[in-house]
Amino acid sequence: MRTMLISAGLLLLLGATACTRETATTETVSDTGTTQSSTTTVSATVPEVDTAAAAAAARDAAHKTGTAMETAGKEIQEKTKTDGQ
């Protein structure tokens, strides 16, 4: 579990960020010919996900989980064996 959290943290630290920017301009002309203009700009930083690294981390976590379950299963079998087996 700790390894998975460390891997996830590293992915977040290593991931580069992308910036998305959107600008909208509105112009209004009145009946008298007066023009009014307004501009709105919205910027957001969106993290990029390294899908190859995320897939590798998921495989690593799945492998470690499977190994832990296998070890626990063997320990349970050892503890539940009877004299006849």
pLDDT, one tens digit per residue, over 60-79 is 999 999 999 999 999 999 88
- The residue type found at 69 is M
CB-CB contact of 55 with 22 (8 Å): no
CA distance readout (Å), 57 to 13, 15, 35, 52, 67: 14, 14, 57, 9, 15
pTM of the model: 0.37
Domain count within the chain: 1
Is the residue at 41 inside a domain? yes
Is the residue at 85 inside a domain? no
Stretch among 7-21, 41-55, 63-77 having the lowest mean pLDDT: 7-21
Is the residue at 16 inside a domain? yes
CB-CB contact of 49 with 15 (8 Å): yes
